[in-house]
Amino acid sequence: MIEFAIGSVFATGPVRSVLVANRGEIARRVFATCRRLGYGTVAVFSDADAAAPHVREADVAVRLPGESSAQTYLRTDLLIGAALAAGADAIHPGYGFLSEKADFAQAVLDAGLRWIGPPPQAIAAMGSKVAAKKMMAAAGVPVLRELSPDDVAEADLPVLIKASAGGGGRGMRVVRDLADLPAQWQAARAEAESAFGDGTVFCEQYIETGRHIEVQILADAHGTVWAVGERECSIQRRHQKVVEEAPSPFVQAMPGLREKLFTAARDAARTIGYVGAGTVEFLVAPDGSFAFLEMNTRLQVEHPVSELTTGLDLVAWQLRVASGERLPAAQEPATHGSAVEVRLYAEDPAKDWQPASGTLHRFSVPGVGYAFETADPSSRSEPLVRLDSGVESGSVVGVHYDPMLAKVIVWAPRRDEAARLLASTLAAAEIHGLVTNRDLLVNVLRHPAFLAGDTDTAFFATHGLDTLAAPLVTPENERLSALAAALAVAAANRRAAPVLAGLPSGWRNLPSQSQRRVLIAGSPGSAGSLGSPGSPGSSGSLGSAGSSEHEIRYRLGRDGLTAEGFDAVALVSAAPDEVVLDIKGLRRTFRIGRYGDAVVVDSASGSVSFTLAPDFVDPADAVAAGSLLAPMPGTVVRLGAAVGDVVAAGQPILWLEAMKMEHQVSAPVAGVVTALPVAAGSQVDVGAVLAVVEEETE
């Protein structure tokens, strides 16, 4: 067990002002609790975040010159200097960035500031997954057997290679063929070195259909350790969590498992002298046996589900424990009801889930009763919706940081009620300007296997990621939305007309030629392909995948609306922001958002984004056939081909770095590279021509 002196970790005297060494959603979350408890707040911000909501909401904000994380949020000297300059006497690290860096925690203490987190010794003890597993094994906590790559046999397959120093799926490889092990080992080492500055990796047995269960820990400096319920986070994509919930339906159905997990988590915390809020993560096999994975020595992204099922404000208890307060009793608080959380990301399923950037024109989630706060579940009977978001309408999502927009969480007395309300809330949300993973989340929440609690780590492999990511809007309803968009645009044009603005656009006293509008749904783009981060062999279309074109022809006359290809559709009303249609006797409302040539239509059937096709195309705007366009702003990291090279379909042409990930841009067809106007280090904007590949002909 690691021993430490309380006085060396916790400063004395009251906390008056807290600096959050972070950004976005978690900064706003900590500030919300600080305001409720009467603490002053200090924000830090990069140049890219100058207009971010967390900057405006703090009492004082300090600029960190630069845009990248390395220039700003990862600079210990700048963060401590900001705290001292602003008069803060405590630093909360949030999650990510420096939250699990023992040297940062120690530097904060050495500066005479309060550290709102565990002792540096505890952080260091869990900083290496290899060392942490050995420590846990010695303490009697179950662990998976570590395998040497030289000793792995066919009987051990599949195995998982993991980075010792980091997480988030980076430096992680599943190996199912023994012949692939050496190459995958080296690839994982290289990725870990690049991502974390430490190329140490290890190998262990891979459990295909396990459950990812974690226990929320809260410990004071006087020896009391609480296990604040468990969470299930088994539904993951690329080893990153997508849906989280508390309690776990699997643990609930397995007699005695919860207490075994709680005991192991408490033992893990006591072994390293843990103080504060943290999470012990386990992999649970189908038979209920389990093994320690890692301990996150910080607040977790998914902590709201634990708060909503217990009524605890974990950030408040972080502040209290850091001031030396005792937990009020030796018994943990009971849990009530169920809470489910999803992570809403700006990413494009049609383009191999590449991160999206740009302006979030409108962001509205219906029914939100709580933002960054919890409620006592023991006295509630009605469901509630909580939103923890780092963005708002008008926010610009850049390429420098993680593209998570928000966490949407629902609590209800029953799990099925929570899932149903969360799905309908997401489906009704108005998210204009960026493509997101919303449809995937809704489809997962409504899936029979999810509702039955069958949510192991193979969920996407079992049910098909592409199937689950299918658009909520059917082709028929997409076409109706296109008609509504065309009518709304016409209404806006009519309203702006200098004469006869009261008449419907295109109205004729006698039958005449139809009005015509072409709208492109989805995310139209250039030919090309983009490999998934860390997966050079995979690629997704950068071209027209996910987009479709609708030509709408209609007339408005004495008999009302006549639209070609639409049977029994009558116009009830049309305004620039709302169109009401009667469809075979059923009245439906379409809400319209217009942003230049972009039109977003929201209805009970779902949301569709359109681009208005121009009536005439300027030849100067045409792009050469075979052009590969930048899907987002970023930096060209390296080139994989040169002008004149003969390339195969799918062969890497270059790698683009954006949103903390490296994206592979590949040849869409076999051919010859005829143009390559960029070089390593080039900064490119979205839509810039990266290369031109001329297809081979006979």
| Domain locations in the chain as residue ranges | 6-116, 207-468, 475-612, 623-695
The pLDDT of residue 223 is above 80:
yes
* The dihedral sign for the CA sequence 99, 103, 107, 109: positive
Phi, psi angle pair for 283, to nearest 5°: -105, 120
pLDDT of residue 156: 85
Please give the share of the chain, as a percent, with pLDDT higher than 90: 70
The pLDDT of residue 131 is above 50:
yes
pLDDT confidence band for 536 (50 / 70 / 90)? very low
The pLDDT of residue 525 is above 60:
no
For 187-204, the pLDDT digits (tens) are: 888 888 877 778 888 898
The pLDDT of residue 437 is above 80:
yes
Which one is the CATH code of 6-116: 3.30.365.10, 3.20.20.80, 3.40.50.20, 1.10.3210.10? 3.40.50.20
- Give the span between the Cα atoms of 34 and 114, in whole angstroms: 14
pLDDT confidence band for 557 (50 / 70 / 90)? confident
**Which DSSP helix (H) or strand (E) runs through 530?**
strand 529-532
Which one is the CATH code of 623-695: 2.30.130.10, 2.40.50.100, 2.102.10.10, 2.20.28.120? 2.40.50.100
Question: Among all chains, which residue has been given the structure tokens 């705290």?
Answer: 83
The pLDDT of residue 6 is above 50:
no
pLDDT confidence band for 661 (50 / 70 / 90)? low
pLDDT of residue 342: 98
196 and 162 in contact (C-beta within 8 Å)? no
Q: Where are the alpha helices (DSSP H) in 341-429?
A: 415-428
The pLDDT of residue 530 is above 70:
no
* Average pLDDT of the segment spanning 429-444: 98
For 614-628, the pLDDT digits (tens) are: 876 555 556 677 889
For 240, the token pair is: 């990153």
pLDDT of residue 569: 97
610 and 598 in contact (C-beta within 8 Å)? yes
| Range name among 94-98, 356-360, 499-503, 551-555 with the lowest pLDDT average | 499-503
Average model confidence (pLDDT) across the chain: 89
> Which segment, 451-465, 613-627, 669-683, is predicted with the most confidence on average?
451-465
pLDDT of residue 190: 83
3-class DSSP assignment, residue 266: helix
* Average pLDDT of the segment spanning 102-109: 98
pLDDT confidence band for 12 (50 / 70 / 90)? low
* Average pLDDT of the segment spanning 8-19: 73
Residue type, 507: W
380 and 364 in contact (C-beta within 8 Å)? no
Q: Report which of residues 167 and 9 the model is more confident about.
A: 167
For 469, the token pair is: 């990511």
Which one is the CATH code of 207-468: 3.30.505.10, 3.30.470.20, 1.10.260.40, 3.40.50.9100? 3.30.470.20
Question: Among all chains, which residue has been given the structure tokens 């904060």?
Answer: 108
pLDDT of residue 698: 56
pLDDT confidence band for 61 (50 / 70 / 90)? very high
C-alpha pair distances (Å), 397 with each of 6, 22, 55, 304, 433: 41, 16, 15, 23, 10
Please give the share of the chain, as a percent, with pLDDT higher than 70: 90
| Range name among 277-281, 286-290, 430-434, 651-655 with the lowest pLDDT average | 651-655
* Average pLDDT of the segment spanning 412-418: 98
pLDDT of residue 130: 85
* Average pLDDT of the segment spanning 260-278: 97
**Which DSSP helix (H) or strand (E) runs through 22?**
none
Confirm or reject CATH 3.30.70 for domain 475-612, answering yes or no.
Answer: no
pLDDT of residue 79: 98
The pLDDT of residue 62 is above 50:
yes
pLDDT of residue 543: 31
- Give the span between the Cα atoms of 609 and 103, in whole angstroms: 47
* Average pLDDT of the segment spanning 580-593: 97
pLDDT of residue 340: 98
**Taking the CB of residue 21, how many other CB atoms lie within 10 A of it?**
29
3-class DSSP assignment, residue 180: helix
pLDDT confidence band for 168 (50 / 70 / 90)? low
3-class DSSP assignment, residue 72: coil
**Which DSSP helix (H) or strand (E) runs through 231?**
strand 225-232
C-alpha pair distances (Å), 18 with each of 43, 145, 244, 297: 9, 42, 29, 19
For 288-328, the pLDDT digits (tens) are: 999 999 999 999 999 999 999 999 999 999 999 999 999 99
For 31, the token pair is: 């500030």
